[in-house]
């Protein structure tokens, strides 16, 4: 497996990602993913009315379009989150837009919600055979602004809610211009009104999460926590990538635009999880950011996350990391 990972690192990161998932797809079709089967099958976990095989899942971005649900599910994840998806297909930002930080075990991406659109994802959600929990992470198109941006989230919810177990509203990606402005009090109030109206109209009884940035002030985070607690929104996902590159060992990347993930994000993510738990012991919380080992995974649970997601750790360490986390 390590040989394959080393070979893939010869390719540019975005191409390597595509090759990796394509290989995984065909290996699964050949029935050869049993080597990653969970040997230590624990009891299922009940959370928010859903039954999870375990508390480890994929973060949004790994499978944006739901093209690889079955093969990723076969690796032993307790749940999968696909997306970020937008109403209309879009190419995303100009390439190159993904950068490996080998010294820091991190990745900088400025992809910009590149995806095939909500209708493509819905088709995949109707056809998959994976029997675990699936969440859909939704976003706004780059060309949408103001009120139209909020309408994009509502359009995605209308099209996807029947075919997913939960929904994540992504208002924290740093790679769509001004998207993080939705986290300020004025804009988030408008967003929550629109979301609650749609939840009521469609009679949605599935969990809906807000995914937040690690770069917001504590006052902003407390405001969002209060909004969630006093609304029909279920919980929070902490965190998205950070724009803070100041801790990187490789100074070359200090001024790179985009979101930083992997090991350099771990402390920021953990600090925010701790702060959320300090403010509220009850709010449903999914932790993500910098999970590079079984120890990192357990730390997020110990800090109060109900579930944990992984992305960059999976890319850096390979599928074996999933096996090590689940079977310990």
Active-site residue set: 173
**Cis peptide bond N-terminal to 84, omega within 30:** yes
- Torsion, Cα 305 311 316 321, to 10 degrees, reads 60
How far is it, in rounded angstroms, from Cα 294 to Cα 104? 18
Contact between residue 257 and residue 182 where contact means Cβ atoms under 8 Å apart: no
How far is it, in rounded angstroms, from Cα 247 to Cα 70? 37
Task: Give which of 142, 139, 145 is closest to 187, Cα–Cα.
Answer: 145
Contact between residue 256 and residue 245 where contact means Cβ atoms under 8 Å apart: yes
CB burial of residue 278 (10 Å; 0-12, 13-18, 19+) = exposed
Q: Which two tokens stand for residue 28?
A: 């699964």
How far is it, in rounded angstroms, from Cα 171 to Cα 104? 26
- 3-state percent breakdown (helix, strand, coil) of the chain, nearest 5: 40, 20, 40
| CA distances in angstroms from 255 to 8, 128, 202, 233, 294, listed in the order given | 26, 41, 44, 36, 31
Residue whose entry in the numeric block shows the structure tokens 């985070």: 221
Helix (H) or strand (E) holding 208, with range, is strand 208-212
Task: Give which of 64, 44, 71 is closest to 55, Cα–Cα.
Answer: 44
Residue whose entry in the numeric block shows the structure tokens 């540019």: 12
Eight-state DSSP code of residue 115? B
């Amino acid at each position: 497996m390590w040989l394959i990972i080393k070979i893939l690192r010869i390719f540019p990161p975005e191409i390597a990602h595509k090759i990796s998932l394509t290989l995984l797809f065909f290996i699964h079709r050949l029935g050869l993913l049993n080597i990653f089967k969970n040997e230590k099958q624990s009891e299922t976990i009940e959370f928010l009315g859903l039954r999870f095989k375990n508390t480890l899942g994929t973060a949004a971005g790994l499978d944006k379009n739901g093209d690889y649900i079955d093969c990723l599910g076969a690796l032993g994840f307790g749940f999968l989150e696909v997306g970020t998806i937008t109403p209309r297909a879009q190419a995303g930002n100009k390439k190159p837009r993904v950068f490996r930080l080998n010294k820091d075990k991190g990745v900088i991406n400025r992809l910009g919600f590149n995806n095939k659109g909500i209708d493509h994802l819905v088709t995949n959600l109707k056809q998959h055979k994976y029997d675990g929990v699936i969440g859909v992470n939704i976003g706004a198109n780059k060309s949408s602004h103001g009120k139209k941006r909020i309408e994009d989230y509502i359009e995605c919810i209308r099209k996807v809610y029947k075919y997913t177990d939960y929904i994540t509203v992504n208002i924290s990606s740093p790679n769509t211009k001004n998207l993080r402005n939705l986290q300020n009090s004025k804009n988030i109030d408008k967003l929550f009104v629109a979301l609650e109206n749609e939840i009521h109209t469609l009679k949605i009884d599935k969990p809906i999460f807000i995914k937040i940035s690690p770069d917001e002030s504590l006052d902003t985070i407390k405001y969002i926590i209060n909004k969630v607690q006093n609304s029909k929104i279920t919980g929070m996902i902490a965190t998205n990538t950070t724009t803070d590159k100041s801790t990187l060992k490789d100074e070359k990347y200090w001024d790179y635009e985009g979101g930083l993930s992997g090991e350099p994000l771990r402390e920021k993510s953990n600090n925010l999880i701790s702060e959320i738990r300090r403010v509220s012991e009850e709010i449903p919380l999914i932790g993500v950011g910098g999970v590079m080992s079984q120890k990192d995974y357990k730390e997020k649970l110990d800090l109060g996350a109900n579930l944990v997601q992984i992305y960059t750790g999976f890319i850096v360490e390979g599928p074996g990391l999933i096996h090590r986390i689940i079977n310990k």
